[in-house]
Every structure is written in structure tokens, then in C-alpha cells.
Structure 1
Amino acid sequence: MDRHSESCFCIELNQLLEEQEKLSFKDFRFVCDMLGYDTIPLIISNQKCPLEAFGRTVNGKFFVTSVFRLEKLDTKHCCATLSLLEPVDIDGCPIEFLCDEIYSLNKTDQCIIVDLSCFCKIEPLSPKLVNRPLPIIEPKC
């Protein structure tokens, strides 16, 4: 990948970061609508596969994720700080994102720093998935 395509990827991520900040209504003086969306979940991939990272749940169990929140972007060095989003099913159990049906993406405080020169594809997901409340399931008896 040449320097031009690296900078294009960083420019695209910078646009995503700007939209994420607008979505959360940061720095608005007159608009006070709190939608609760402050994250655009994303998957970044190279030509063969998406980036994956290992994280640890609040209960101390490990999970694997391919879904992240863009926290910071260094366009000068084309690297990013990404926080891990834990994919869970409808029961709240951690799942492998690419194999199972995802219900929610739980925010974590775990971050990784990534050299973006290795990646060429961004796949944003719906902000509605982040910290989506689990359904209340009534007992059948």
C-alpha cells in the first residue's frame, strides 16, 4: 500500500470520528437532544481478514472481538486508539461476532493502538447496537 492510500484511510477514519462526535451532540450549544449514541461501531480489515483483539469481561472471562470504537486518531502517523466492544447474544453471553447473531455491543475500557497502514477497509455498524439493553424475558411458568 502506498502513502497516498494510507492517508486516504486515515482521512476516512477522521470523517467517521467527526460524525461520531456529532452524533453524541458534543459541543452543541442549543441542541440538547441526548440520543444516547456516542459510538459508531466499526470493523477494520486488511485485504484478507478483519482485525481481532482479545478482551476480558467484567466477570474476568475472555472474549474475542472484531468490533471497535474509534477513540483517538493520529493522522500524522496514521495510527488509532480503538476501544474493544464486546459482542453479546440476546442472553448477554459473549459471542464470536463473525459466527453468531449479535444482539448488543458492550463498551469496555480496554484499548489497543493500531498502525492503520495495514488496513484498507472500514465497515461501520449501527450505533443502536452499542449497550443495547437486553430484553426482559418473563418466566413461562
Structure 2
Amino acid sequence: MNNEKRRNHFLCEALHDIKELQDVMKDFHSKYFGQLLVKIVGSDTIPFFLITHDGTHLKLMDTIKQFETEFFRIEAIDREHCRGTVSLLRAYDYEGHDTNLIADVVRLERTSTKKSIELCGISAIQLLKPDMLKGKFIIEPKW
């Protein structure tokens, strides 16, 4: 297996694992505690960004809501063709404005926009904290 195929194989497997974890969080139901796992984690989404071969983050555009993002949620993975379907996560800064600067992101919001991507142009996956979907943050006083 050459390096490109091996890398694509690992990316497909990693995204498949993320999808399975999301499904466990979403579908786990206890007869006594309901959806306790989602309540503990705070979300059924594992957010991530994708790094391309040239070292930049993959950015996709939502043409209807007019925003660009580099934050995603895996919705489906085609391991045979090494393609993924992602939903776009909209990133907001402290003031509620769109941002793609990871240092400024305080909240990620799931959207209904889905895009299909070929993983042959992707080198790496970087997971983010699911807490970013809760939108809770504490501002400590300066003095």
C-alpha cells in the first residue's frame, strides 16, 4: 500500500471511529437515566477540523446562510471510496460574530448544511472539545 492510500485509509478509519462514538453518545439510552451520556458530555457531536496537504485548514462555504467555516461534524463515511459527509459547524466569537480563528472561538453551532468531501486532499484531523457546542463560558473579573 503506497503512502497516499495508507494515509487515506487511516483518515477514513479515524472518521469512522468518530462517527461511531457520536452514534454511541446519541443512541445510548438507560431505562433509569435516559440519555445520561449526552447529558454528561453535553453534546452528541465531536467537532473537528481537517488539515490539507499544504498545511492549511479545509474551509467550506454555506452559500445559503453566507458563512465560511473550518469546523465540522462527521455525518457519514464511505470507507470504500474514502469520502465523508460532514455538516458545517458555525463558529462564533465572544461578541457573537462569525470567526474562524480558533483562539477567538467561544461557541460552535450545528447547522443543517451538509457537504461531501474527498479525503484524498486531507492530511490530518484535529479534534476539538465537545464543550465548544455548549456555548457556556465564564468571564472572570479583571480585579
Task: Normalising by structure 1, report the TM-score.
Answer: 0.80
In structure 1, the gaps of 5 or more residues are 136-141
What SS is found at the alignment partner of 1:2?
helix
Q: Residues 106, 56 of structure 1: CA spacing in aligned structure 2 closer, same or farther, 3 A cutoff?
A: farther
Task: Tell me the residue number matched to 1:122.
Answer: 125
What SS is found at the alignment partner of 1:108?
strand
In structure 2, the gaps of 5 or more residues are 139-143
Determine if contact 1:69/1:85 at 8 Å carries over to the other structure.
yes
Q: CA deviation at 1:56?
A: 5.2
Task: Tell me the residue number matched to 1:39.
Answer: 45
- Structure 1 range deviating more: 100-109 or 71-80: 100-109
Question: Which of the residues 58, 68, 72 maps onto 1:51?
Answer: 58
Question: Which of the residues 67, 71, 87 maps onto 1:67?
Answer: 71
Q: CA deviation at 1:4?
A: 2.2
Q: CA deviation at 1:112?
A: 0.7
Q: Distance in 1 between matches of 2:82 and 2:107?
A: 29
Determine if contact 2:43/2:134 at 8 Å carries over to the other structure.
no
CA-based RMSD of the aligned residues comes to 2.2
AA of the residue aligned to 2:21: E
AA of the residue aligned to 1:50: H
Q: Distance in 2 between matches of 1:4 and 1:45?
A: 16
Higher helix share: 2
Task: Tell me the residue number matched to 1:15.
Answer: 17
Equivalent residue pairs, number: 130
Q: Residues 128, 88 of structure 1: CA spacing in aligned structure 2 closer, same or farther, 3 A cutoff?
A: same
Q: Distance in 2 between matches of 1:73 and 1:86?
A: 21
AA of the residue aligned to 2:95: D
Question: Which of the residues 92, 109, 113 maps onto 1:106?
Answer: 109
Structure 2 residue 85 is matched with structure 1 residue 78: no
AA of the residue aligned to 1:126: K
Determine if contact 2:87/2:112 at 8 Å carries over to the other structure.
yes
Determine if contact 1:91/1:134 at 8 Å carries over to the other structure.
no
